[in-house]
Amino acid sequence: MDGIGNDRRDLVRSIYEQHRAHIRHVEYGRQWFTLVFAIVFTGALAIMGDRMRDIDHWPLVAFLMIFSLFGFFVSLSVQNTLKAYYDAADLIPGRHDLKHYLPKFRSNLCHRMLDVSRLILIFYLFCFSFSLFVLLRMRFNEAWKSGWVPLVIFIVALQFMILWKGKEPAQPDEE
């Protein structure tokens, strides 16, 4: 092979490696954010302890609700970013006839519905629903009155997340 072919192959390899490195970077950032969120959330629950229904804790519970929504939307944004980078990285082997080097995984229904990104979104959604339940429980003493609203929100949002595909990334122009 001449020097031009080797340079092009090195360029393609370098671009592919950069896409994969950026994907790892974004995933690590999401993991750290989720870890900090979990520490803050469980710390707040530990502060409230057995007195979770005390009306004095409503600012803390409201903060947890807002923090959960913030985590949900940050994670949703990260999920869309990761999808765009995965799609861009997956185009490279296809264009240069290198798909046979990639590992092949069987895709089943469980894998398609509950990948890590969706599980993290479900985690934030559950934390929001739990915070809403605690906040409503402070106002209403009967569990059935305070439990229906968060449960319905959780189920509707979960169904939306399972059925929603997201916006397809734009396909780059062919050379």
- Higher pLDDT: 45 or 111? It is 45
The answer to whether 19 and 92 have CB atoms below 8 angstroms apart is yes
The long-range contacts involving 29-33, CB below 8 angstroms and separated by at least 24 positions, are: 29/78, 30/75, 30/78, 30/120, 33/71, 33/74, 33/75
This prediction's pTM: 0.72
CA distance 10 to 154: 48
The long-range contacts involving 94-97, CB below 8 angstroms and separated by at least 24 positions, are: 96/12
| pLDDT at site 102 | 63
Mean pLDDT is highest, among 4-8, 58-62, 113-117, 140-144, for 58-62
Four-point Cα dihedral 111, 117, 121, 123, nearest 10 = 70
Per-residue pLDDT reduced to its tens digit, 10-64: 777 788 888 888 888 989 999 999 999 999 999 998 988 877 777 788 888 889 9
Query: Residue 112 contacts by C-beta under 8 Å, 6 or more apart in sequence?
Result: none
Q: What is the largest CA-CA distance in the chain?
A: 79
Provide the 10 A C-beta neighbour count for residue 82.
17
- Specify burial of residue 19 (Cβ count, 10 A radius: 0-12, 13-18, 19+): middle
Give the closest residue to 116 by CA, choosing from 23, 9, 15, 51. Answer: 23
Using alpha carbons, list the distances in angstroms from residue 23 to 44, 122, 130: 32, 21, 31
